[in-house]
Amino acid sequence: MIVLSLVLLAFATFCRGGHDSHGKRSNIVFILSDDQDLQVDFLNYMPLLSKHIIQKETFYGRHYCTTALCYPARASILTGKKAHNHNVTDTSKPYGGYPKVVSEGINDNYLPLWLQDAGYNTYYTGKLWNAHNLDNYDSPFARGFNGSEFLLDPKTYEFYSPTFTRNGGKPVNFNGAYSTDMIRDIALGFLDDAAKADNPFFLGVAPVAPNSDIYFTGEDDANGIPEVVTNPPFPAKRHKDLFNDVIVPRTPHFNPERPSGVHWVAKLPLLNATHIEFNDCYYRQRLRSLQAVDELVEALVDKLDRLGMLDNTYIVYTTDNGFHVGQHRLQPGKYCPFEEDVHIPLAVRGPRIPENKKTEIATTHTDLAPTFFSMIGADMRDDFGGAAIPITECGLEEVVHDRFEHVQVEYWGFYLSESKYRYEGRRIPNNTYKALRVISKDYNFYYAVWCTNEHELYDMKSDPYQLHNLYSGDSLANPSRRSAFSVSLSKVVARLDSLTMVLKTCKAEGCVKPWKQLHPKENVNSLKAALNPKYDHFYEVEQPRAKYDHCAEAYLLELEQPTFENMGKQFIPG
């Protein structure tokens, strides 16, 4: 028995990775781009990323952020928690921004500090947080890094004149320097430092491309929030003439004839010819701005190779959230639960990672901190709301049958247009929602409840572009209609709504195994299992429904009653 356990333990450890054959712990290089979606073809325009990372590693084809906005997404990456648990829900005050990270205690309890506790040297360059600026960067300084050079507002998004603070020093503006190239060179310098030390290291590299170029006017709006002007991102001069003929792919959901979505999205007018030209230009500028990121990837790989560290270093490439350009009639921007905004790249290269493999298991940003822990062999924290992403061949095989299949996306607050063509105003209020994806071989559903209590249901096996909302008004358009999975949609919705109820206030392990909350005494861990007719009454009649009292700009629990904790039922057989 003991021998068997030891064998199993060894196997499990092997399946997780952690150190090389000499027992030296692996390093991690984490590259985080800004607002890079997966839907509209970006990776095809990054040949070096493809050569050095994607063909050398595993590409996770179903990776999602859990909030479609930089700041909450970054807070989830660096804490391993959903936004409803860290409550950093916006990019600026009062519900987000660097001061909120400090007041929520994140600066004293997050990934870099945990990595240092595990004996790692930690380095970071680029954008760490939003609203991290000249006034607040040293009150207090971002903790947890042995070496750091952070971009600071108001110049974080000005591609040609960034301001950095190095190791807490006085901020320096580099007028005329190209931000991504500077970040590349700073990162290469940190690799030299890391190579001299005995400890293993973690290096975070966070360029702002392909985020919009954002210029702070210096004025505040009526809400006391800094006014900004947004432009398409600026590429490095050497890339400015690339892709002159490229346009946004004209997929069925690009500026669709019939409006899609609900709430304010459903009211959007068609884009006119001027808008479309502008969207195409935006798209090209995004592709061009990514070229310097692509080169940065190659420079880091070459340097690791020259320093003899490539074989024992994990390289993780992702972005904070996605971005849409013209889909669903939306002008360039993010903040929505549509695929463009939440479905993003994740690629991992490193020791024992199978080459050129693509997996379709569902993974999210809250899984990244647990994944880093697994890579370095650290004990998982109890408060992680995600689970380590398997990275080895056997790890990937192990989870095919029992890894969770859900992705929960949540948002509170306004929608901000990043186009010069605005809707009624720059901000559209009440863009508050909870959306759910359930993805398996057999089905692929999207379900959302908005703060207006409108619902969306897309059967994405038959409707991958999210154009046909099967919910109309406040009921299913045709409750007896069957999904591609040949189950009545009203039965599917009853389950998805209960799953939403559990996930909207889930904590820790409860976010990873939500079906367990509903079926504590049974082995139900998928939508398919929950669709057993013996649970029909339980789901269709006994459970409370997810709803909002009214729309708000912040996560206010009193407006989101009932919760699973106070009204939800558990199925107890017998």
Ligand X SMILES: *[C@@H]1O[C@H](CO)[C@@H](O)[C@H](O)[C@H]1NC(C)=O
Catalytic-residue membership of 70: yes
If one asks whether residue 87 binds ligand X (CB under 6 A), the answer comes out as: yes
Structural element, H or E, at residue 194: helix 179-196
Q: Binding segment for ligand X among 133-141, 371-379, 481-489, 552-560 (CB under 6 A)?
A: 552-560
- Whether the Cβ atoms of residue 103 and residue 58 lie closer than 8 Å to each other: no
Among 19, 20, 102, 116, binds ligand X (CB under 6 A): 116
Considering the complex, state which of residue 14 and residue 421 has its C-beta at the smaller distance from ligand X. Answer: 421
Among 318, 327, 296, 379, CA closest to 117 = 379
Considering the complex, state which of residue 121 and residue 364 has its C-beta at the smaller distance from ligand X. Answer: 121
If one asks whether residue 8 binds ligand X (CB under 6 A), the answer comes out as: no
Q: Binding segment for ligand X among 268-276, 298-306, 309-317, 344-352 (CB under 6 A)?
A: 268-276
Catalytic residue among 70, 336, 451, 511: 70
Among 185, 249, 421, 477, binds ligand X (CB under 6 A): 421
Q: Is 44 exposed, middle or buried (0-12, 13-18, 19+ CB in 10 A)?
A: exposed
If one asks whether residue 167 binds ligand X (CB under 6 A), the answer comes out as: no
Among 397, 412, 494, 503, CA closest to 455 = 494
If one asks whether residue 319 binds ligand X (CB under 6 A), the answer comes out as: no
- Counting residues that bind ligand X (by CB under 6 A) gives 20
- Whether the Cβ atoms of residue 331 and residue 31 lie closer than 8 Å to each other: no
CA distance 459 to 445: 5
Within 129-148, which residues bind ligand X (CB under 6 A)? 146
- Whether the Cβ atoms of residue 25 and residue 311 lie closer than 8 Å to each other: no
If one asks whether residue 108 binds ligand X (CB under 6 A), the answer comes out as: no
Considering the complex, state which of residue 8 and residue 556 has its C-beta at the smaller distance from ligand X. Answer: 556
Among 21, 273, 402, 566, binds ligand X (CB under 6 A): 273
Q: Binding segment for ligand X among 166-174, 271-279, 368-376, 517-525 (CB under 6 A)?
A: 271-279
If one asks whether residue 244 binds ligand X (CB under 6 A), the answer comes out as: no
Within 181-220, which residues bind ligand X (CB under 6 A)? 197
Identify each DSSP E strand in 336-485 by its residue range. 343-344, 346-349, 357-359, 363-364, 406-411, 415-416, 427-428, 433-439, 444-450, 455-459, 471-472, 475-476
Distances (CA, A) of 326 to 110, 263, 278: 36, 18, 10
Q: Is 70 exposed, middle or buried (0-12, 13-18, 19+ CB in 10 A)?
A: buried
Structure tokens at 89: 């829900």
Residue 44 CB, shortest distance to ligand X, in Å, is 30
Return the amino acid letter for 140: P
Q: Binding segment for ligand X among 48-56, 223-231, 266-274, 457-465 (CB under 6 A)?
A: 266-274
Residues taking part in catalysis:
70
Binding site for ligand X (CB under 6 A): 87, 94-95, 116, 121, 146, 197, 272-275, 421, 429-430, 550-551, 554-557
